[in-house]
A and B are shown apart, each in its own frame.
Chain A
Amino acid sequence: MIEFESVTKRFGSFTAVDAVSLHVRQGEFLTLLGPSGCGKTTLLRMLSGFETPDLGAIRIAGEDVTALPPYRRNVNQVFQSYALFPHLNVRDNIAFGLRMQKVPKVEARRRVEEIVEMVALGGFEARMPHQLSGGQRQRVALARALVPGPAVLLLDEPLSALDAKLRRQMQVELKRLQRRLGTTFVFVTHDQEEALTMSDRIAVMRGGRVEQLGTPTEIYHRPVSGFVAEFVGEANLLAAERVGGEQGRDGAALRVRLEGGLELSVPAMAWPGGAARARVSVRPEKLCVSKRPIEGVENLFQAVIAEEIFQGAFDHLVLRTEAGTVLSAVVPNESAVMEALHEGDRVWCGLHADDLVIVAA
């Protein structure tokens, strides 16, 4: 559907997008995720036509659009600031694209009514943009970009101006709308949670490059680098060194020592071949914590709860192992059927070898 072919964009001597090749599939919800300044907006603007790549080519539905001006491209954008026309009411804002395409009036009216219904803006058609709340403006911007029926909808951090609750609600609605319309969405965010919730696939960007492209589960469970592991979700990222040869049944495991001294068994296959050092990523929720020894795990060790932070549904625990390694864990909050864990308690920690992710040092 969309192909970026080694696309590079420089501003002066600064390379904002560095040889990015990316293939977006028809009808998918693809998210560009990365910290501020990593080139997400620049990549998106090259797709909408507001920036021209210095090198490489961009194709939409097989057509090379690299040099096409924005108004000739069959893509529409939802701007971060919404960019609603302040002199037009809701209906005219939404109808703007249809008017530019010279869609007959009767058909235009029907399509506007349809989309107004879809984004739940009925009754607001005659309002001016300044008479709307943030969430309503967001819907107008969305409707305005969708109504011309673009091949691709681009969204640049469209939810970042909304408060947390409205934001979660809009995430769900956006995703539902995308499924229903089957339009290809390219969504930009620096919020990993948002990316995980909404996307079919995520492209994690860093310093103008795509570091990893994959489904949310792949990105979360199999990050290819320490950067991805830390940026997407919480992770204990610890330097590790290989201390033992292959062992266990059919030699499937390796012995490694983490910084601080804790020794763990990790799957031999996951270890970068031949390397002496690497980093181990442990998701806080993968750590089983209990006052009694845990059965059926490859790694079992004891630790002290150094800190307990209440987080509503979860408790965040900072654990210090006997060897001195510090790990974060997240456990469901205490309830009647669960044992209570408190600061200073000695506990057992269990870790499946398969839940450990090894990334290059």
Chain B
Amino acid sequence: MQGLPGTLPPNPHARPAGAWGWWLLAPMLAWLALFVVAPMAILLVYSFGSRGALGVVELGFSLENYERIADPIYLRIFGRSIGYAALTTLLCVVIGFPAAWFIARRSPEWRGRLLLLVMVPFWTSFLIRTYAWIAILRSEGLLNAVLKSSGVVPHVLPAPLDLLYTPTAVVIGLVYVYLPFVILPVYASAEKLDGTLLEAAQDLGAGPLRVFREVIVPLTWPGIAAGMMLVFVPAIGMFAVTDLMGGARVSMIGNVIHNQFTRALNFPFGAALGVVFTLLFVLSYALLLWLGRRRDETAKAR
């Protein structure tokens, strides 16, 4: 019956938090100020400066770096990053939603076991797991060995797959890394969904598809939206997976920024890229919020 925790009626007996309660936030606020606000401010200042000799940052006010971002090369990289991140997000939701739903509908003890499986990858270093994917995908790797020994190559496919260092490999790597970030929040919403609601919908004439659209999606939307944010935003900026699995051929905005700071030593340009990138985050977050609100409004308008 009780659907979302946010929709429970407020407890009239609850005492309002006193002014002292705010101090509980102090450690987090300090942390945010030190490691988020301060670096962002430095980035912003740098981005209007220019690169001096030997990579020294010369502060000033020039829009030169931003003009350079407008160069089609960088715009294309931005576009590509967004495209890959969007594709990754889509695949993560398409794969992760059914998985999360499946887990949430098991008995409590099975839920625990299956969730553990979802989290097992976190026990190993991210780099080691990415190298494992390289071992699987490279031309003489595991995947092609299986394809050959099972006869898929050459009977079904003419030649071994050459996946590594292609966009496909990058997307596979990204989906692999981010999948749990969709499964976990969707699971959290799905687990709270009362199964009787699905029966009520069917009882009122909703076939499986309508039950999904009219009941399951709206009630798990907070989880889906959180999962999408947790994948899309970091996926745009990811550089390790693209570096390792895309080689030099597939670079994303994360790689470009990484290069500006580590190789080209052009901090101001890297900073400008970083600022634009952050704005993209904010925009995509706003977009998701707006989508969620529009869902609610169309639901109300009916």
Q: Footprint of B on A, CB under 8 Å?
A: 48-50, 69-71, 75-77, 79, 81-89, 92, 95-97, 99-101, 128, 130-131, 144-145, 148
B219 contact set on A, CB distance < 8 A: 86-87
**Contact in complex: B1, A83 (CB < 8 Å):** yes
* A48 vs B205: C-alpha distance when bound (angstroms): 11
Instruction: Give the Cβ gap from A83 to chain B, nearest Cβ, in Å.
Output: 4
Instruction: Give the Cβ gap from A67 to chain B, nearest Cβ, in Å.
Output: 15
Chain A: which residue is nearest B197 at the CB level?
Answer: A83
* A92 vs B214: C-alpha distance when bound (angstroms): 11
* A49 vs B199: C-alpha distance when bound (angstroms): 10
Instruction: Give the Cβ gap from A287 to chain B, nearest Cβ, in Å.
Output: 45
Chain B 187-205 interface residues, beta-carbon cutoff 8 Å to A: 194, 196-197, 199-205
**Contact in complex: A100, B199 (CB < 8 Å):** no
Chain B: which residue is nearest A86 at the CB level?
Answer: B3
A49 contact set on B, CB distance < 8 A: 202-203
Across the interface, B204 reaches (CB within 8 A) one of A81, A131, A144, namely: A144
Q: Does B210 contact A (CB under 8 A)?
A: yes
Q: Footprint of A on B, CB under 8 Å?
A: 1-4, 7-9, 194, 196-197, 199-207, 210, 214-215, 218-219, 299-300, 302
* A69 vs B207: C-alpha distance when bound (angstroms): 9
B203 contact set on A, CB distance < 8 A: 48-49, 70-71, 75-77, 145
Q: 4 closest pairs, A vs B, by CB?
A: A86-B3, A97-B204, A100-B205, A83-B200
Chain B: which residue is nearest A99 at the CB level?
Answer: B302
**Contact in complex: B1, A84 (CB < 8 Å):** yes
Chain B: which residue is nearest A84 at the CB level?
Answer: B1
Across the interface, A148 reaches (CB within 8 A) one of B197, B202, B205, B299, namely: B205
Name 17 extra pairs, CB < 8 A, besides A85-B3, A85-B200, A130-B2. A50-B202, A70-B203, A71-B206, A81-B196, A86-B1, A86-B3, A86-B197, A87-B3, A87-B4, A87-B219, A92-B302, A96-B206, A97-B205, A128-B7, A130-B9, A145-B203, A148-B205
Across the interface, B299 reaches (CB within 8 A) one of A50, A82, A92, A100, namely: A92
- 29 example contacts (A-B, Cβ-Cβ < 8 A) are as follows A50-B199, A50-B202, A71-B202, A71-B206, A71-B207, A76-B204, A77-B200, A79-B200, A81-B1, A81-B194, A81-B196, A83-B1, A83-B194, A83-B196, A83-B197, A85-B3, A86-B2, A86-B4, A86-B7, A87-B219, A89-B300, A92-B299, A92-B300, A96-B206, A100-B201, A100-B204, A101-B205, A144-B204, A145-B203
* A85 vs B196: C-alpha distance when bound (angstroms): 10
